[in-house]
Chains A and B, each alone.
Chain A
Amino acid sequence: MTFMKMAASAAVLAWASAAQAQETLSMWYHGAGNEVELKLINEVISDFNASQSDWKVELQSFPQAAYNDSVVAGALAGNLPDILDVDGPNMPNWAWAGYMQPLPIDESKIASFLPGTKGIWDGKLYSIGLWDAAVALVTRQSTLDELGLRKPTVEQPWTRDEFMAALDAAKAAGKWEYPLDLGMAWTGEWYPYAFSPFLQSFGGDIVDRSTYKTAEGALNGDAALAFGEWWQGLFQNGYAQATQDPADRDGGFAAGKYAFSWNGNWAALGALAAFEDTVFLPPPDFGAGPKIGGASWQFGVSATSKHPEGAAAFIEFALQDKYLAAFSNGIGLIPATPTASEMVDNYKSGGPLAVFGEYSSKMALVRPVTPGYVVQAKVFEKALADIANGADVAATLDAAADEINADIEKNGGYGH
């Protein structure tokens, strides 16, 4: 009995000392309010904490809508955690502002990851994502058949003329309220994420990526002007609505109000539930190749972390295919690796959403990789909203380019 007591005491002591030896790593995550996402991230943390005796990750979750402001406030107050997650396009700004440090993980481990999941700025990896998102032109096979339209493919996407002919055919059919749902009810990041690929497919861009020091020529050159005229025409010619009820964005396609919907993979299962013959078409090619946006939420290490090796150990741990697959099953996003995709029914070869993975790997273009993007995104959003509502295209794009240039100059070129 005494022996048993001693053995038990020794076991408790050993466990206690092991627990004490674990260094705590704080982590912030944007998933508060999302029950599924929080459950998944807590499982990864729990598995990591149990898998080794050096580190113990403790999570603080934030609502997504308030997350960026919380991180900025935390940085100002000198109160950042060890591990944080960051929306891909914001990463360069946080790295430049000194909120994040390069991520010390073995890059061979992320060789097979989708390009949009890698947060690289200034030649260094700062963040890595477990998933990516993709946008497609959602419609029904029956709609294509009814309108006599060719089904576009990755190899042969619709040209601009074919796309406009499809919209014309849908308009002439008179069966839908609008031929195209662009998701104008969603504001903020949706604009640069979903609409700047159109501009890039025209041959323009939000900023000149060769230097990142000016928007001149990129946002207001001939290609951008052609894009702007086309964009305005969508609304002026009744193809799409410039202002949209959020309810129509959420349920308009399923209710049969739109022939085509420009929407993300996160809404794909809902569309399939509404219509079995839903198809997800690649984006049209407006001349410079078909494009969609890339980069979603990613994990990185804060600049103030005293334990970057511990933070990196956790992030490496989270990159296992089983977690990539679990997140995809839980929240519907595209797993970062082909091997993880094969573990997910929706995204495995032949799966109903597999095309999104293909679009993501072949057509995704990350938003401008510059600290100035956070400002440029807002300028771009305002310019597109103004043009959609009838503003002069050339003057609006000139003003937007000037505003972006002024911001770049004010910030000393953002380190480029």
Chain B
Amino acid sequence: MAMISADNRGLRLATRYAVLVLIALIFVFPLVFMVMSSLKPSQQLLEDSANLRAFLPVGDISFDNYTDAFRRAPVATFVFNSVLVTGVTVLLSLLICSAAGFAFVFVDWKGRNLLLAVLLATLILPFETIAIPMLLMVAHLPWIGMEGLTWGWLNSYRVQIIPFIADGLTVFLFVQYFKDLPGELIEAARVEGASWGQIYRRIVMPLSGPILATAAILKFLVMYNQYLWPLMVTQEEGYRPVMVGLQYFFQLNVAWGEVMAYLSLITVPVLAFYLYLQKAFIASIASTGVKG
């Protein structure tokens, strides 16, 4: 009986792993296809796309598509711009949205429920509905910089960063997470005379690793994939991000190998960032039920 039971367990385990491997393959296949295709000439890429060769490094393999991609577009500039804009926005967003969430949950002030409701209501507004009003606004905003007072934010990094620092979803994530933190900790700190700033810095934030990772990854993905807004506000090539740069490759006859090479290159920062925060992200999903 014991042997049969062990066999059953083994069989169940094998089945489970087989299913998991299959699911993993389904998710990994597009990435493998992208990388493998980036190494093939366009004609071969299209021919292979109908069979399993698409996922294998076979045929006329080279890095020519990467060389050609760099020749066609300033890839390094686009990646740098995206990483800069995304990185700064994510950092500022974590700071501002967590502070807002903290104020909504722990600080008792008049009108906070109403304001939170208004903030959450902004989640139902698609960005496209506010894009043009935002464009009209940022085109005429003042700025004080190295050149003194100037008007209009177009063709700058700030125009890609500042409008996206605070958003309803990120604040909501922090609010939900903070609500589950033990209230006794905060009360005890208040009794001991800690200021709100101290509680935020020394108690709440150190306990917020998972939600910081979740918020960071979600924000990162949104910002890294920005297309419409940078297209509207960056007429100068030097400020364009990776997704606008992708359009450089869609000429009349699309060089698919170069497209795949470019996509492989711009996927690297996303994968690196995700892998870096992976553990905390999964812990956060497990603890809050938030689906990324």
Residue on A nearest B132 in the bound complex, by CB: A76
Going nearest first, the 3 A-B pairs with the smallest beta carbon separation are A33-B248, A63-B247, A247-B46
CB proximity of B243 to chain A, nearest CB, Å: 10
Residues of chain B from 149 to 193 with CB closer than 8 A to chain A in the complex? 152, 154
From B19-27, B56-64, B232-240, give the one contacting chain A. Answer: B232-240
CB contact list, B114-155 vs A, under 8 A: 132, 135-136, 139, 152, 154
Complex Cα–Cα for A251 and B47 (A): 10
0 or 1 for each of A52-88: is its CB under 8 Å from B? (1 = yes): 0000000011111110011001101111010000000
B72 at the A interface (CB under 8 A): yes
- A66 and B235 contact, CB distance less than 8 A: no
Known: A60-B235, A61-B237. A33 touches B251 (CB 8 A): yes
Q: Are the CB atoms of A33 and B249 closer together than 8 Å?
A: yes
Q: Does B273 contact A (CB under 8 A)?
A: no
Q: Which of A33, A34, A35 has the most CB of B within 10 A?
A: A33
Q: Does A32 contact B (CB under 8 A)?
A: yes
CA distance A34 to B235 in the complex (A): 17
Which residue from chain A places its CB closest to the CB of B244 in the assembled complex?
A: A66
Taking a contact as CB atoms under 8 Å apart, the answer to whether B235 and A32 are in contact is no
Interface residues of B in 228-279 (CB under 8 A from A): 231-233, 235-237, 244-245, 247-254
Q: Are B251 and A246 in contact (CB under 8 A)?
A: no
Find A65's partner among B71, B237, B247, B253 (CB 8 Å cutoff).
Answer: B247
* Closest chain B residue, CB of each to CB of A270: B253
- Contact of B248 (CB < 8 Å), options: A32, A69, A70, A266: A32
Contact across chains for B136 and A76 when beta carbons are under 8 A apart: yes
Can you list 16 pairs linking A and B with CB atoms under 8 Å apart?
A32-B73, A33-B72, A33-B247, A33-B248, A33-B250, A69-B231, A70-B232, A70-B235, A73-B231, A73-B232, A73-B233, A76-B132, A77-B154, A77-B232, A251-B46, A266-B252
What mask results when residues 53 to 77 of chain B are scored 1 for a CB within 8 Å of chain A, else 0? 0000000000000000001110000
Contact between A79 and B139, CB atoms less than 8 A apart: yes
Cβ contacts under 8 Å, A246 to chain B? 46, 254
Interface residue? A250 (CB, 8 A) = yes
Which residues from B are CB-within-8-Å of A79?
A: 139, 152, 154, 235
Report if B43 contacts A (CB, 8 A): yes
Closest residue of chain B to A63 (Cβ to Cβ) is B247
Give Cα A76 to B233, complex, Å: 11
Interface centre among A32, A76, A79 (most CB of B within 10 A): A32
Query: Which of chain A's residues has its CB closest to B250's CB?
Result: A65
Contact B139 A63 (CB under 8 A): no
Specify which of A34, A35, A66 is in contact with B231 (CB 8 Å cutoff).
A66
| Structural contact, A70 and B43, CB atoms closer than 8 A | no
**Chain A interface, number of residues (Cβ within 8 angstroms):** 27
| Pair A66/B136 contact, Cβ less than 8 Å | no
Residues of A within 8 A of B252 (CB): 266
Tell me the bound Cα distance from A63 to B136 in angstroms: 23
Query: Shortest Cβ distance from A32 into chain B, in angstroms?
Result: 5
Closest Cβ–Cβ distance, residue A131 to chain B (whole Å) = 14
> Chain A residues near B43 (CB, 8 Å)?
251
Give the distance in Å from the alpha carbon of A226 to the alpha carbon of B114 in the complex.
62
Tell me which residues across on chain A come within 8 A of B71, comparing CB atoms: 35
State the Cβ distance, A17 to closest chain B Cβ, in Å: 24
The yes or no answer to A299 lying at the interface (CB within 8 A) is no
Task: Write out the residue numbers on chain A whose beta carbons fall within 8 Å of the beta carbon of B154.
Answer: 77, 79
Residue on A with the closest CB to B74? Answer: A32
B139 and A77: CB pair below 8 A? yes
**Do the beta carbons of B253 and A73 come within 8 Å of each other?**
no
Q: How far is the CA of A28 from the CA of B260 in the complex (A)?
A: 28
Digitize A353-373: 1 where CB-to-B-CB distance is under 8 Å, 0 elsewhere.
000000000000000000000
A76, closest chain B residue (CB):
B135
Taking the nearest CB of chain A, how far is it from the CB of B150, in angstroms? 13
**Which residue on B lies nearest to A78, using beta carbons?**
B139
CA distance A33 to B236 in the complex (A): 14
Enumerate chain A residues within 8 angstroms of B251, measured Cβ to Cβ: 33-34, 64
Q: In chain A, what residue has the closest Cβ to B252?
A: A266
Counting chain B CB atoms within 10 Å of each CB, the highest count among A64, A66, A70, A247 belongs to: A66
Closest to A73 in B: B232
Whole-angstrom CA separation of A266 from B139 in the bound complex:
39
- A356 smallest CB distance to B (angstroms): 16
C-alpha spacing A63/B139, complex, angstroms: 22
Is the pair A63, B248 in contact by a Cβ cutoff of 8 Å? yes
Of the candidates A32, A73, A76, the one whose C-beta lies within 8 Å of that of B237 is A32
Does A60 contact B237, Cβ atoms closer than 8 Å? Answer: yes
Residues of B within 8 A of A35 (CB): 71-72
In the bound complex, residues from chain A placing their C-beta under 8 Å from that of B136 are 76-77
B139 neighbours in A (Cβ, 8 Å): 76-79
* Residues of chain B within 8 A of A73, CB atoms compared: 135, 231-233
Kindly list chain A residues whose C-beta atoms are within 8 Å of the C-beta of B253.
250, 267
When chains A and B are docked, how far (Å) is the Cα of A79 from the Cα of B152? Answer: 10
Per the bound structure, the CA–CA distance linking A64 and B72 in Å amounts to 13
Tell me the complex Cα distance, A267–B249, Å: 18
B46: chain A residues at CB < 8 Å are 246-247, 250-251
